[in-house]
Amino acid sequence: MKNTYLLILVLIFSVGFSFAQQKPNILWITIEDTSPQFIGCYGNSNARTPVIDKLAEEGVRFTNAFSTGTVCSPSRTAIITGVKTYKAGTGNHRSKYPVPDFIKGFPYYLQKQGYYTSNNVKTDYNVASQKEFIKEAWNESSGKAGWWDRKPRQPFFAVFNYVESHQSRTMTETYQWYEKNVLNKLEKEERIGDNEFEMPPFYRDSPEMRKQFARVYNSIKLTDNRIGELLARLEKDNLKDSTIIFFYADHGEGMPRGKTNGINFGYRVPFIIWFPEMYKHLSPWGTSGVVTNELVDFTDLAPTLISLSAGKIPKYLEGRPMLGKNRSKPADHLFLSSDRSDNGIDMIRTVTDGKYVYSRNFMPFIPEARYIRYMEIGEIKQQMRKDLAEDKLNPLQKSLFEDRPAEFLFDIENDLWETQNLAGNPEYKAVLEKMRNFLKEEILKSRDVMFLPEYEIGLLSKSTTAYEYRLDKANYPLEKIYESASLSGFRGNDVAAKQAELLGSSNEIIRYWAILGLRSQSAEDLKSISANIVKAMEDKYLPVAVTASAIAYEMFSNQKAEENLKRFCADKNLQVSLMAINYLLYTKNKEPFIETIRAVHKMGDRDYNVKAACMDFLGSLALVPNNPDYRE
């Protein structure tokens, strides 16, 4: 009888152990700052990416995969939380505002299903208490982390982040640094020469620009080599036949007009899933060279992996499981967003159905090639500004440095490089209206909290979270706020008159959007309402007063406005300081503020963003060198 019981226990244990092994191992390979059009399997015959291409040849390649943001920390925060940044208040790059305790890093739920979770090594999550957040999500997150530290036969979820294609490699570090750390790590026959690729049309095709842009191809080639090394280790450890492999980039290309910009070039990413034989049944698309145009964004990843682990998907996750028996219906359009990147403020909301990308620019007085210190120290950005000054750019290339329209509409099937804005084309009126309606519906449904100025998010985060605050309709009347915000960027007397009227609202956020919208108006359209703007300079709500002062200085040369802006630059609230300096970056007459900006840069309580904005201001006047030694 005793032996019978032992046999039963052994059988139960064996069945349970066998069941546990039915859960697939999952390997994530994440690369930095890369758009699909620079990878071979996406049709670029000049690229040299044989490892990535083989994954696509044997797996499933996605043509409509999009990052939810256009810069690292917001993108990675949407990935790890599974929550859109415009709901969580995490859209401003490296802002570190709190999220509710119930929002976990999703690997936490995989651990509950018996998975060993490891991250090698990048986190860059845009949340408060980041150390505790990371500790809860990962069994190990370090440069040594990998599947090799799990218990015997324990299923794993392992992430490897490769930085070889990061913007630092493609443009920000000096060319000498790039030669040492990228080019010299490639064999001569692996290197892509300066004349061995096509230049995107929004860059000037010159030897100087080609020298810089070749860095993109060589950095991706080095990345491909590193991925090959990782896959070789997976195979050596006899794990490839039980591991589903995901490959993707964290957002678009780390070059001017890509990363940080709310257009297709900033959002769209390469994305491939590779299935081993034993898990091919989990792919709804088939395998071995399949190409799908199914729409995917990064908030789909968390529910997909929790579902694969047989876990219960938390209600706050609104993405969809893409794989397995719990797969949900594909989306017919996606909502994406782009907000502040380092010291460069901005706000863009985007809708795409895979064929068209519609982007709403809420701060169009800021150009696509806006001042961001991490960009300005790059030699390619300096070359572009030099070519602009010497009048060597064609209209498309020059447009990167000019005010944007309120709306972009691009047909990305027929205009991959987004050279023709269709928003004003009457033939596309129906498409434009449909996209506008989708966007408004999502903004109001999701209660997009980023319609608060960052100044306000910083204040409320001391006592609550932006995620929770946005649900309070009394304190956050988004419908009324959006009526004011929806005017921002559109130009003309009629719009300006409405915005001037809204300056009389009792709600400070409505007033903020009214004055921010007026910043995009021409001097001619502001003439009849100059008194409203001058009065707004004394508004008790600082974001209104700062913006009104910037307009009054730029458009009317108002002396009081100049005095206000000098004071605001040194304000104890760092968001007020950053806002004021950003407005000055796009002001024609900067001379009166030089000493103020120098003094602010020396202040001990200024953060990186304010100091970087100061350096951009001084750099724009050639008062400091634009090189990596002067990043702040």
Dmax (CA) for the chain in angstroms is: 99
Q: How far is CA 152 from CA 21, 108, 222, in A?
A: 11, 20, 33
C-alpha 225/C-alpha 584 separation (Å) is 44
C-alpha 118/C-alpha 180 separation (Å) is 30
For residue 232, how far is the Cα from the chain centroid? 31
**In terms of Cα–Cα distance, which of 227, 550, 182, 94 is closest to 366?**
550
**By three-state DSSP, how is residue 504 classified?**
coil
pLDDT at 22: 81
Half-sphere exposure of 510 (CA within 13 A, CB side): 19
**In terms of Cα–Cα distance, which of 174, 173, 119 is closest to 147?**
119
Task: Report whether pLDDT(1) > 70.
Answer: no
- For residues 338 and 70, the answer to whether their CB atoms sit within 8 Å is yes
Helix or strand run (H / E) with residue 336: strand 334-338
pLDDT digits (tens, 9 = 90+) for 312-334: 999 999 999 999 889 999 999 99
Average pLDDT over residues 426-446: 98
Structure tokens at 28: 């994530």
C-alpha 492/C-alpha 322 separation (Å) is 45
C-alpha 348/C-alpha 510 separation (Å) is 18
C-alpha 130/C-alpha 609 separation (Å) is 19
The 3-class SS string of 188-233 reads HHHCCCCCCCCCCCCCCCCHHHHHHHHHHHHHHHHHHHHHHHHHHH
pLDDT digits (tens, 9 = 90+) for 250-305: 999 999 999 999 999 999 999 999 999 999 999 999 999 999 999 999 999 999 99
Residue owning tokens 């030897």: 207
pLDDT at 244: 98
Structure tokens at 558: 């108002």
C-alpha 524/C-alpha 491 separation (Å) is 11
Helix or strand run (H / E) with residue 31: strand 25-31
**In terms of Cα–Cα distance, which of 238, 302, 245, 233 is closest to 25?**
245
Task: Report whether pLDDT(595) > 80.
Answer: yes
Task: Report whether pLDDT(632) > 70.
Answer: no
Confidence of residue 16 (pLDDT cuts 50, 70, 90): very low
Confidence of residue 342 (pLDDT cuts 50, 70, 90): very high
pLDDT at 628: 72
Residue owning tokens 């890509």: 258
Structure tokens at 22: 């039915």
Q: Which of 14-23, 357-366, 511-520 has the lowest mean pLDDT?
A: 14-23
* Residue-range domains of the chain with CATH: 10-331 (3.40.720.10)
Average pLDDT over residues 547-566: 98
Neighbouring residues of 133: CB distance < 8 A, sequence distance ≥ 6: 105, 125, 127
Structure tokens at 453: 């100025």
Structure tokens at 347: 């706000």
Burial class (CB in 10 A: 0-12, 13-18, 19+), 628: middle
pLDDT digits (tens, 9 = 90+) for 31-40: 999 999 999 9
C-alpha 31/C-alpha 38 separation (Å) is 13
pLDDT at 3: 52
Structure tokens at 507: 């709600």
Structure tokens at 552: 């009054």
On average, the pLDDT of the chain sits at 96
Tell me the percentage of the chain whose pLDDT exceeds 70.
Answer: 96
Report the predicted TM-score, pTM, of the whole model to 2 decimal places.
0.96
Per DSSP, what are the bridge partners of residue 160?
29, 120
For residue 276, how far is the Cα from the chain centroid? 31
C-alpha 310/C-alpha 304 separation (Å) is 10
C-alpha 254/C-alpha 65 separation (Å) is 17
Four-point Cα dihedral 177, 181, 184, 186, nearest 10 = -140
pLDDT at 625: 87
Phi-psi region of 300 (alpha: psi -120 to 50; beta: other; left: phi over 0): alpha
Q: What is the phi/psi pair of residue 158, to 5°? A: -120, 130
Task: Report whether pLDDT(476) > 80.
Answer: yes
The 3-class SS string of 523-578 reads HHHHHHHHHHHHHHCCCCCHHHHHHHHHHHHHHHCCHHHHHHHHHHHCCCCHHHHH
pLDDT at 626: 85
Helix or strand run (H / E) with residue 160: strand 156-162
Q: Which of 12-16, 199-203, 424-428 has the lowest mean pLDDT?
A: 12-16
Task: Report whether pLDDT(51) > 60.
Answer: yes
Task: Report whether pLDDT(5) > 70.
Answer: no
Confidence of residue 146 (pLDDT cuts 50, 70, 90): very high
**By three-state DSSP, how is residue 30 classified?**
strand
Beta-strand pair 243-249/140-141: unpaired
- For residues 358 and 408, the answer to whether their CB atoms sit within 8 Å is yes
